[in-house]
Amino acid sequence: MSAVLTINGLTMDFGGLRAVDKVHLDVRQGEIVALIGPNGAGKTTLFNCITGLYKPTGGDILAIPPGGAAKRINGLKPNQVTEIGLARTFQNIRLFPNMTVLENVMIGRHCRTNSKILGAVLRNSRTRREEEEIVAFSYHLLERVRLERHVNDFARNLPYGAQRRLEIARALATEPFLLLLDEPAAGMNPHETRELDDLITRIQEEMDISILLIEHDMKLVMNISDRIFVMEYGKEIAVGTPLEIRGNPRVIEAYLGEEAHA
Amino acid sequence: MDYFLELFLGGLTRGSIYALIALGYTMVYGIIELINFAHGEIYMIGAFTALIAASVLNIMGFGPVTILILAMVLAIVYSCAYGVTMEKIAYKPLRHSTRLAPLISAIGMSIFFQNYVLLAQTSDFLPFPSLLPELEILEPYAYIIRSSEVFIILTTFGVMVLLTLLIKFTRIGKAMRATAQDRTMAMLVGVDVNRVISMTFIIGSSMAAIGGVLIASHIGQINFYIGFIAGIKAFTAAVLGGIGSIPGAVLGSLVLGWTESFATGYISSDYEDVFAFGFLVLILIFRPAGLLGKATTQKV
Amino acid sequence: MWKFFSLDEIKKSLLMALWFIFLTFPIMVIRVNPIYNVVEWRWQNMALVGAGAFFLSFLWRYFLEYKNPAPSKPADDAAVSRSGRFSELLRSSGTRRLAIGAAVILALAFPYLFSSYQVNIMTTALIYVVLGLGLNIVVGLAGLLDLGYVAFYAVGAYSYALLNLHFGLSFWICLPIGAALAALFGILLGFPVLRLRGDYLAIVTLGFGEIIRLVLENWNDFSKGPSGIAGIPRPGIPGIEMSLNASSVFLYFLMIALALFTIMVVSRLRNSRIGRAWIALREDEIACQAMGVDKTKTKLTAFALGATWAGMGGVMFAAKTTFINPASFTFLESAIILSIVVLGGMGSIIGVIASAFILILLPEYLRAFSEYRMLIFGAVLVIMMVFRPQGLISNVRQTYRFKGLQENKEGD
Ligand SMILES: Nc1ncnc2c1ncn2[C@@H]1O[C@H](COP(=O)(O)OP(=O)(O)OP(=O)(O)O)[C@@H](O)[C@H]1O
Ligand SMILES: [Mg+2]
């Protein structure tokens, strides 16, 4: 199957600290790929490089929209990356707290719509139609993540698990072909995690979106991933199917090492 | 050459005064991320207290050295008292609100203090006694430098040294550095953040008071508005150097002092402030975090 | 309430009184005249300060407690629900229509009920409504701290004054030109500085405001310097002669029209694609970019649009006073406009209108205390921020209704 994301020799330095060290990674069309590793391994940093929040020190990131040509995206601005079709969530939830739940999702539609100031002031029929479409599209996504009861609540008033789902809906609103989830299950209870498991699989199957996710919850990871990449100290130490990773001695050591330190 | 030297020393003097005020801005900003707009007013109140004290002491028949010392001490004491009171009233209740609220509160304080002094004293310029003694050895060079300038430069230098020692080696200095780096973390390891904030205001206010007394006796007159202009300049200097950075504030002040001095000396004196702000914009375009500010990537 | 009169509390207040007596002693009690070397002692001020501090400190503590009730008293929800009910009242369409209707009638009848002096004050207040709403776009919605807003106001005012002086251009031509020039200045300033961090932006905009004022003050050939430009014509209708009185009434209605236009534009923008992007940018810049919003472009639009309204306000101001000089465009002016936005409640239109009227009309009607005007103004800013930092009306967002949803809710 064709790849939607290819990362070659990606490196990111902060002063003297090498947070990501010559990492290779790829996500194929229709896959759910997990990225795991102990705390501080550089997983989030890798996400930040992909999504344009950090400018990588070296290496290449190629995004390949299904049916389109490959684009080198390192160095692009975050909004340009999103426009190409990569969307993300954040490890430390970053919603717009003083906007309503619906408005949070509506922001995701920004790069797929184009009414301008004049349209907004005149409220001509095109703008109104576009606005209605934005609302309908966003509401539909909220139904998907089962937040429709909260449409008009402020995002800051949502419970934690719901905030995580809202971030997913917001990212989906940008119509990505690749969704990057940074620890979507963090802080969720077992019941919520099971629901999330289901949600992620459904997003992949029903919306045909490839998924790259960072997660510490091994049960979730083993359940839903097609392939797993493992990082430690910025380096990639293993890649394979869940079965292969489960038996990989280096991975076990990396995690046991962490346990021993903690 | 003499003219150049005169401008150079003039700029150094100016820069020193800016530094004394800018340090207060930068330290408060470093600790509570607040642009303390009323800091310039603390400097003005310091100068007024010194003027009032000096006049009363003069009538009571004290000698010039006693007057200088007592006036300086009283100016420092009162500036600190105003600084700490202002923090307790206008900033402390706002510690957990939006970023704009304390700024508006600070602007309110600034307007309040200006009008307070205007109403309780006068709106006219008052002559300020030259408290600083004349140094005879400097007489032949009077066309290049005045004794008061020497005093200003030396005092500032001394204050900088003291401040550095205080921050590097004392307990409170360490607590201040810890709080500046991460307030929550500092609190967790047992730093009394309220005390640190009060100390920051005390140190900042003392330096502003010293600056106020020095510049007032150098220029020879004061009014209620001097704090605002000096405050804005000093704040500019702090940003120029990279706000939150102590060496940055000093460097920024000196650079600003020289820029103004040379630009007014060689180009035109009408546009002094235009040069100052224009230079700030120019620097920030090329170094968005200021001269010594670190351009960090924000952690996401 | 009664616990505020316990011995302990009285002791606290006494201490406060002593502290403030000490604090204000040199400045309030002593007045020196260094020229004649005389000292005046004003002991009565000491008594005043002591008594004032004693009583005010009771009030201060009482209201602080009221604002942040101690966690042990769960019954104290009153503050929350009351402000909630207030915004509820504003939102319910019946009362809203009634209130708007009453306001419109009052506004239309105003010039015929009151003297032309009052009409002039009202016109000024309306200019500040427009300025407040304009800055509200920049600060309230987009979250960009602009301390030099007055620069664009000056650009508008001088555009009209100078274009009229040199080329005889009329008010009606200068109004759009002034707005466009201000927008241009907004973009010129915005390009280099909008990538700066929030507080850096504050000082740079402040500096820009000062630069504009200083240039106007010193560049005599261009702007006539500190003496300013006089004899700026009031707006008229071609072919109709108007008396002074009539022309100020005309200006008043013009200002009402401009204010209504501004309200319409801002309220439509606020709930549009671009307005939501502004708010999202204010809430979380990084998340906003990651959701596909172009930061630079969005900020620049806010900046330019805010400046446009300052420009129009400036043209209006020049037309109203018929005389302008740089002294009208100091930092204090920027501070007042910013205060209008923050006191009103960031992003709230009704709040900004209300606070513009309060902040501009109150000092006008406090003429009796004219000396104390600015002192009170400063104190009000501090007190408002301490007790109601979110402003008069906080954060009301558009809500949407969905058919399926209603049923869902009942199903719950
Ligand atoms: N902006 C930054 N500046 C400096 N260092 C950074 C920055 N961002 C990340 N780092 C460092 O890079 C390293 C990797 O961090 P990263 O957040 O990518 O880890 P992670 O794998 O996501 O860990 P976790 O599972 O805890 O989220 C850490 O040492 C971190 O301190
Ligand atoms: Mg992480």
**Chain segment B85-120, per-residue pLDDT in tens:** 999 999 999 888 877 888 889 989 999 999 999 999
**Chain segment C97-133, per-residue pLDDT in tens:** 788 888 888 888 888 888 888 888 899 999 999 999 9
**Chain segment C52-73, per-residue pLDDT in tens:** 999 998 888 888 887 776 544 3
> Please, are residues A224 and A241 in contact by the beta-carbon 8 Å criterion?
no
The predicted pLDDT at position C74 comes to 37
Please, what sign has the CA dihedral across residues B81, B96, B181, C142? Answer: negative
The predicted pLDDT at position C75 comes to 37
Q: Which token pair is C131?
A: 């300025």
Q: Which residue, C356, C355, C354, C344, is CA-closest to C394?
A: C344
Alpha-helical regions (H) of chain B: 2-32, 39-59, 64-86, 100-120, 147-169, 171-181, 183-188, 193-219, 226-241, 246-266, 272-286
Atom 7 of ligand 1, residue of closest alpha carbon: B299
The predicted pLDDT at position C2 comes to 56
Smallest Cβ–Cβ distance between C276 and the set A53, A106, A139 belongs to A106
The predicted pLDDT at position C89 comes to 53
Q: Which token pair is A239?
A: 């890649």
Q: Which atom of ligand 1 is nearest to the CA of A15?
A: 4
The residue count for chain C: 412
* Residue A45 Cβ < 6 Å to ligand 1: yes
The residue count for chain A: 262
CA–CA gap between residue C27 and residue B56 (Å, rounded): 13
In whole numbers, what is the pLDDT of chain C averaged over residues? 84
Ligand 2 centroid to residue A216 C-alpha, Å: 10
Q: For chain A, what is the largest distance between any 2 Cα atoms, rounded to a whole number of angstroms?
A: 65
Mean pLDDT to the nearest integer, B7-34: 90
In whole numbers, what is the pLDDT of chain B averaged over residues? 88
* Residue A19 Cβ < 6 Å to ligand 1: yes
CA–CA gap between residue B170 and residue B228 (Å, rounded): 32
pLDDT band per the 50, 70, 90 thresholds, residue C79: very low
Ligand 2 centroid to residue A114 C-alpha, Å: 33
The predicted pLDDT at position A84 comes to 94
Record: contact B99-C193, CB cut-off 8 A? no
Instruction: Kindly give, in sequence order, each residue whose CB lies less than 8 Å from that of residue B290, ignoring residues fewer than 6 positions away.
Output: B239, B240, B241, B242, B243, B245, B248, B252, B283, B284, C200
Atom 25 of ligand 1, residue of closest alpha carbon: A39
The predicted pLDDT at position B157 comes to 92
CA–CA gap between residue A74 and residue A55 (Å, rounded): 7
Mean pLDDT to the nearest integer, C214-236: 87
Record: contact C218-B270, CB cut-off 8 A? yes
The predicted pLDDT at position B188 comes to 87
Residue with the two structure tokens 């009730």:
C69
Per the model's pLDDT, the better-predicted residue between A139 and B293 turns out to be: A139
> Please, are residues B85 and B13 in contact by the beta-carbon 8 Å criterion?
no
The predicted pLDDT at position C403 comes to 62
* Residue A160 Cβ < 6 Å to ligand 1: no
Whether the pLDDT of residue C285 is over 70: the answer is yes
> Please, are residues A181 and A211 in contact by the beta-carbon 8 Å criterion?
yes
Mean pLDDT to the nearest integer, C368-386: 84
The predicted pLDDT at position C72 comes to 43
| Mutation to probe ligand 1, out of A10, A45, A92 (largest number of atoms < 8 A from CB) | A45
The predicted pLDDT at position C407 comes to 39
Ligand 1 centroid to residue B248 C-alpha, Å: 28
* Residue A87 φ/ψ, nearest 5 degrees: -130, 155
CA–CA gap between residue A214 and residue A27 (Å, rounded): 13
Q: Which token pair is B140?
A: 């032949």
The predicted pLDDT at position B296 comes to 67
Asked if A102 is an interface residue toward chain C (Cβ–Cβ < 8 A), one would say: yes
> Please, are residues C32 and B52 in contact by the beta-carbon 8 Å criterion?
yes
Alpha-carbon separation of residue B265 from A245, B11, B260, C349 (angstroms): 73, 10, 8, 49
Q: How many CB atoms lie within 10 A of CB C86?
A: 12
Per the model's pLDDT, the better-predicted residue between C410 and C111 turns out to be: C111
Residues of C in contact with A82 (CB under 8 A): 290-292
Q: Which token pair is B186?
A: 């500092």
Q: Which residue, C134, C111, C112, is CA-closest to C123?
A: C111
Whether the pLDDT of residue C372 is over 90: the answer is no
Q: What does the DSSP 8-state code read for residue B170?
A: S
pLDDT band per the 50, 70, 90 thresholds, residue C91: low
Per the model's pLDDT, the better-predicted residue between B41 and B298 turns out to be: B41
pLDDT band per the 50, 70, 90 thresholds, residue C412: very low
Whether the pLDDT of residue C263 is over 50: the answer is yes
Tell me what percent of the residues of chain C surpass a pLDDT of 90: 42
Whether the pLDDT of residue C208 is over 50: the answer is yes
- Domain spanning B2-286: CATH 1.10.150: no
The predicted pLDDT at position C241 comes to 75
Q: For chain C, what is the largest distance between any 2 Cα atoms, rounded to a whole number of angstroms?
A: 86
* Residue A255 Cβ < 6 Å to ligand 1: no
Mean pLDDT to the nearest integer, C33-45: 84
CA–CA gap between residue A190 and residue B26 (Å, rounded): 48
Q: Which token pair is C190?
A: 């915005």
> Please, are residues C129 and C121 in contact by the beta-carbon 8 Å criterion?
no
The predicted pLDDT at position C92 comes to 62
Of A136-150, B58-72, B98-112, C78-92, where does mean pLDDT reach its minimum?
Answer: C78-92
Whether the pLDDT of residue C77 is over 60: the answer is no
Q: Which residue, B51, A97, B239, is CA-closest to C200?
A: B239
The predicted pLDDT at position B170 comes to 92
Tell me what percent of the residues of chain C surpass a pLDDT of 70: 90
3-state DSSP of C225-260: HHHCECCCCCCCCCCCCCCHHHHHHHHHHHHHHHHH
Residue with the two structure tokens 């019941």:
A191
Q: What is the DSSP string of A202-245?
A: HHHHHH--EEEEE-S-HHHHHHH-SEEEEEETTEEEEEE-HHHH
3-state DSSP of chain C: CHHHHCHHHHHHHHHHHHHHHHHHHHHHHEEEECCCCEEEECHHHHHHHHHHHHHHHHHHHHHHHHHCCCCCCCCCCHHHHHHHHHHHHHHCHHHHHHHHHHHHHHHHHHHHHCCHHHHHHHHHHHHHHHHHHHHHHHHHHCCCCCCCCHHHHHHHHHHHHHHHHHHCCCHHHHHHHHHHHHHHHHHHHHHHHCCCCHHHHHHHHHHHHHHHHHHHHHCHHHHCHHHCECCCCCCCCCCCCCCHHHHHHHHHHHHHHHHHHHHHHHHHHHCCHHHHHHHHHHHCHHHHHHCCCCHHHHHHHHHHHHHHHHHHHHHHHHHHHCCECHHHHCHHHHHHHHHHHHHHCCCCHHHHHHHHHHHHHHHHHCHHHHHHHHHHHHHHHHHHHHHCCCCCCCCCCCCCCCHHHHHHHHHC
Ligand 2 centroid to residue C286 C-alpha, Å: 16
Residues of A in contact with B297 (CB under 8 A): 14, 54
3-state DSSP of B70-139: HHHHHHHHHHHHHHHHHHHHHHHHHCCCCCHHHHHHHHHHHHHHHHHHHHHCCCCCEECCCCCCCCHHHH
Per the model's pLDDT, the better-predicted residue between C220 and C273 turns out to be: C273
The predicted pLDDT at position A214 comes to 95
Residue with the two structure tokens 């389109």:
A68
Strand-pair category, A58-63 with A71-72: antiparallel
Ordered per-residue pLDDT tens for chain A, 262 residues: 689 999 999 999 998 899 999 999 999 999 999 999 999 999 999 999 999 999 999 999 999 998 888 899 988 999 999 999 999 999 999 999 989 999 999 999 999 998 888 888 888 888 899 989 999 999 999 999 999 899 888 999 999 989 999 999 999 999 999 999 999 998 888 999 999 999 999 999 999 999 999 999 888 899 899 999 999 999 999 999 998 888 888 888 877 665 544 4
Residue with the two structure tokens 């002039």:
C120
Asked if B297 is an interface residue toward chain A (Cβ–Cβ < 8 A), one would say: yes
CA–CA gap between residue C389 and residue B101 (Å, rounded): 6
Q: Which ligand is nearest to the CA of A46?
A: 1
Residues of C in contact with B93 (CB under 8 A): 64, 386
Give me the long-range contacts of C38-41 (CB less than 8 A, separation at least 24).
Answer: C39/B55, C39/B56, C39/B59
Q: Which residue, B88, B85, B246, is CA-closest to B173?
A: B246
pLDDT band per the 50, 70, 90 thresholds, residue B297: low
CA–CA gap between residue A49 and residue A67 (Å, rounded): 24
Instruction: Kindly give, in sequence order, each residue whose CB lies less than 8 Å from that of residue C385, ignoring residues fewer than 6 positions away.
Output: B90, B94, B97, B101, B102, B104, B105, B108, C342
The predicted pLDDT at position C73 comes to 37
H and E: helices and strands count for chain A = 10, 10
The helix/strand/coil state of B299 is: coil
Q: Which token pair is C251?
A: 């200006």
Tell me what percent of the residues of chain B surpass a pLDDT of 70: 99
* Residue A36 Cβ < 6 Å to ligand 1: no
Report the residue of chain B nearest C219, measured CA to CA: B270
Asked if C412 is an interface residue toward chain A (Cβ–Cβ < 8 A), one would say: yes
Per the model's pLDDT, the better-predicted residue between C359 and C258 turns out to be: C258
Q: Which token pair is B121?
A: 């004293």
Record: contact B104-C210, CB cut-off 8 A? no
Atom 18 of ligand 1, residue of closest alpha carbon: A42
Class of residue B136 by CB neighbours under 10 A (exposed 0-12, middle 13-18, buried 19+):
exposed
Q: Which token pair is C172?
A: 């009606």
Asked if B60 is an interface residue toward chain A (Cβ–Cβ < 8 A), one would say: no
> Please, are residues B204 and B32 in contact by the beta-carbon 8 Å criterion?
no
pLDDT band per the 50, 70, 90 thresholds, residue B40: very high
Ligand 2 centroid to residue A252 C-alpha, Å: 20
